Amino acid sequence: MNIHSVLSDRVYQALSFLVNLPINVSLKIHPSTKSEYGDYQIDGVMDIAKKFGMSSLCLARKLVDTLDLNGIAYKIDVISPGFINIFLDPNWLSQCLICVLSSSRLNIVTVIPKKTIVVDYSSPNIAKEMHVGHIRSTIIGDAFVRICEFLGYHVVRSNHVGDWGTQFGMLIAYLESIKIDLNKKITLSQLEIFYRFARRKYDQDPYFSKRARDCVVRLQNGDSRCLKIWNNLVKLSMLENQKIYDRLNITLNLTHSMGESTYNSMLPEIVKDLKKKGLALENKGAIVIFLDNFKNKRGKPMGVIIQKKDGAYLYSSTDIACIKYRCEILNAYKIVYYIDSRQHQYLKQIWSIAQKAGYVHNCILEHHTFGMVLGKNGKPFKTRSGATIKLTVLLNEAIKRARKLILNKKPNISKKKLDILSEVVGIGSIKYFELSKNRIINYIFDWDQILSFHGNTALYIQYAYTRIMSVLKKSYKIFKQHSFKNKIKLTTKNEKQLAVHLLQFEEVILFVYQNGTPHVLCSYLYNLSVLFSVFYEKFPIFYEENEELRISRVLLLSLISKTLKQGLNLLGIKTVNEM
């Protein structure tokens, strides 16, 4: 159900009677900005009139005369110099609401035929604990994945973990040098310390750095001893990361791990092919691609190295192979990368190479960039001592704070309920805070704003949901005792506002899919909760005396609860029935 598409079909149909379409015209049909402008307004008639040398008021009037919104709108106003305001018919809205309510997926469209979207997200580097720097890609990427799947796309989650390259050479060389017994359990934090030592040794000891580089080449050539150590490191890291994904209610699992190493066997062929196509050249022993469309600091074509002098491949070589794999083997219709904005230029170069090489076939490439997480001081969010903040620590803190908050409100809550609730609220709040910010800008991590009952927060919406659920629980009997009358009556302005808002759910989901902007869905759910709260405080529901109205309001509440739950679910946020 989509008010926008119903209106736009009819409006364009009417317009095509009046002027010779298609030309380069578009009308903007959108929810009205003020209630006196009706429910939807049409802008852009003036531009069209200008193109045809007509008076805009005259064209707007003719459009309204031709426009058939019988049974959909009860009034259409024309405002000088050519704005059109549409007032939707409450009866039509109420029929639409019943339709939506009786559908298990709230009557939201699905794409046919199923197309494949590859989503590259989370992608931490192996041998290090996940930290706050991974939170954005992981959480926003996962919400996007859920939305794509809900719309019917076939989604390939591609966790492009950094499991290849120089750092593994270092680590393997170091572990060999200290003769570590890999049959004994080592933890990820120990591994991270080893990595730090290895890095220091690499920078200071030329003999060690040579060994580390040899290890990279050995690894890339399939040396069994190196591979064995490497396998252990990857397994250990991914099992640790999985714990974070599970706690965060992220849909990634071990089968989605398609790290840089996945593409290793393709690399020699790719380099050969790029040379053959005249794209890659030998330059001071390395293999380089010079791109005319990107300039370096001296204004010369930018060089992208794809193979080093010693034969080792790079992050870039892997990404080129990866595009080929996603297009040719996975048959991707679209590839979406959730990577921070600092890699934008790099990605564009890789895409450009893949396109020139003919590896991209009818495939849309999108980079959904995001900014940084900052501390209250406006600098990158770190611990007091300046270290990166581990996700485990951050999640523990969220749950601890949620616990305190809940105990404050409900000192007598049982331990079991408290455990469940602090998890749902703590994790939900962190995720929601992340998702509610426009991803392209930096945001400030602030616990007071994250865990608040006021404003655009998870708690506000989760709490509104529990209020609805408690009314619905009481009302269950109403449905049992009386014949179920399928009618939602929109008797007040608030009910009508709620109706229009509820029927905009599909529009919002499609917008978020198109733009990869979950914050728009957050605002939608928040506004729905606000509309509900206002209505709930003003009008009786369960205690409404008129039976028909009582049932109607309960039905409306039921749809609000379903929409909130579905919306939060698409964001990967859980709900509870009571708080």
28's CB contacts (< 8 A; 6+ apart) are: 42, 43, 44
The span of 120-128, 226-234, 279-287, 546-554 binding ligand ARG (CB under 6 A) equals 120-128
**Cβ distance 445 to 388 under 8 Å?**
no
Sign of CA dihedral 419, 425, 430, 435: positive
Say if residue 263 is exposed, middle or buried (CB neighbours under 10 Å; 0-12, 13-18, 19+). buried
Nearer to ligand ARG, 123 or 317 (CB): 123
Nearer to ligand ARG, 389 or 464 (CB): 389
Q: What does each C-alpha distance from 292 to 296, 305, 317, 349 come to in angstroms?
A: 10, 15, 19, 10
**Cβ distance 464 to 471 under 8 Å?**
no
What character string, x for contact with ligand ARG (CB under 6 A) and - otherwise, covers 70-109? ----------------------------------------
CB of 317 to ligand ARG, least distance (A): 12
CB of 494 to ligand ARG, least distance (A): 46
Q: Interface with ligand ARG includes 125 (CB under 6 A)?
A: yes
Nearer to ligand ARG, 120 or 506 (CB): 120
81's CB contacts (< 8 A; 6+ apart) are: 46, 56, 57
Among 244, 321, 339, 399, binds ligand ARG (CB under 6 A): 339
Q: Interface with ligand ARG includes 320 (CB under 6 A)?
A: no
Nearer to ligand ARG, 347 or 478 (CB): 347
Q: What does each C-alpha distance from 419 to 135, 400, 426, 462, 567 come to in angstroms?
A: 23, 10, 10, 16, 24
Nearer to ligand ARG, 216 or 472 (CB): 216
Give dist(CA 524, CA 244) in Å, integer.
28
Nearer to ligand ARG, 167 or 475 (CB): 167
What character string, x for contact with ligand ARG (CB under 6 A) and - otherwise, covers 147-166? -------------x-x----
**Cβ distance 66 to 19 under 8 Å?**
no
**DSSP code at position 259:** -
CB of 341 to ligand ARG, least distance (A): 12
**Cβ distance 84 to 45 under 8 Å?**
yes
Rg, Å, the chain Cα set: 28
Give dist(CA 231, CA 233) in Å, integer.
5
Nearer to ligand ARG, 123 or 517 (CB): 123
CB of 294 to ligand ARG, least distance (A): 17
**Cβ distance 27 to 11 under 8 Å?**
yes
CB of 160 to ligand ARG, least distance (A): 4
CB of 15 to ligand ARG, least distance (A): 44
Q: Three-class SS string for 139-173? A: HHHHHHHHHHHHCCCEEEEEECCECCCHHHHHHHH
The span of 11-19, 118-126, 178-186, 538-546 binding ligand ARG (CB under 6 A) equals 118-126
Inter-axis angle of helices 3-18 and 56-66, to 10 degrees? Answer: 110
Q: Interface with ligand ARG includes 141 (CB under 6 A)?
A: no
CB of 162 to ligand ARG, least distance (A): 4
CB of 266 to ligand ARG, least distance (A): 14
Side-chain-facing half-sphere of 440: CA atoms under 13 Å: 7
What character string, x for contact with ligand ARG (CB under 6 A) and - otherwise, covers 167-206? ----------------------------------------
CB of 172 to ligand ARG, least distance (A): 19
CB of 123 to ligand ARG, least distance (A): 4
Among 89, 240, 319, 423, binds ligand ARG (CB under 6 A): 319
Nearer to ligand ARG, 160 or 401 (CB): 160
228's CB contacts (< 8 A; 6+ apart) are: 182
Per rule CB under 6 A, count of chain residues that contact ligand ARG: 9
Q: Interface with ligand ARG includes 123 (CB under 6 A)?
A: yes
Pick from 290, 294, 292, 293: nearest CA to 305: 290
The span of 104-112, 117-125, 215-223, 470-478 binding ligand ARG (CB under 6 A) equals 117-125
Where do the DSSP E strands lie in 16-129?
Answer: 28-31, 40-43, 73-79, 83-88, 116-120
Whether the bond between 518 and the residue before it is cis, its omega within 30 degrees of 0, is no
Q: What residues pair up with 201 in beta bridges, in sequence order?
A: none
Nearer to ligand ARG, 123 or 166 (CB): 123
CB of 348 to ligand ARG, least distance (A): 12
Nearer to ligand ARG, 138 or 429 (CB): 138
Residue whose structure tokens are 């719309």: 151
CB of 342 to ligand ARG, least distance (A): 9
Nearer to ligand ARG, 125 or 563 (CB): 125
Among 29, 86, 87, 120, binds ligand ARG (CB under 6 A): 120
Nearer to ligand ARG, 138 or 504 (CB): 138
Nearer to ligand ARG, 141 or 428 (CB): 141
Q: Interface with ligand ARG includes 261 (CB under 6 A)?
A: no
Nearer to ligand ARG, 37 or 315 (CB): 315
419's CB contacts (< 8 A; 6+ apart) are: none
Phi and psi based region of residue 333 (left: phi greater than 0; alpha: psi -120 to 50; beta: remaining): alpha
Chain positions contacting ligand ARG, by CB under 6 A: 120, 123, 125, 160, 162, 319, 322, 337, 339
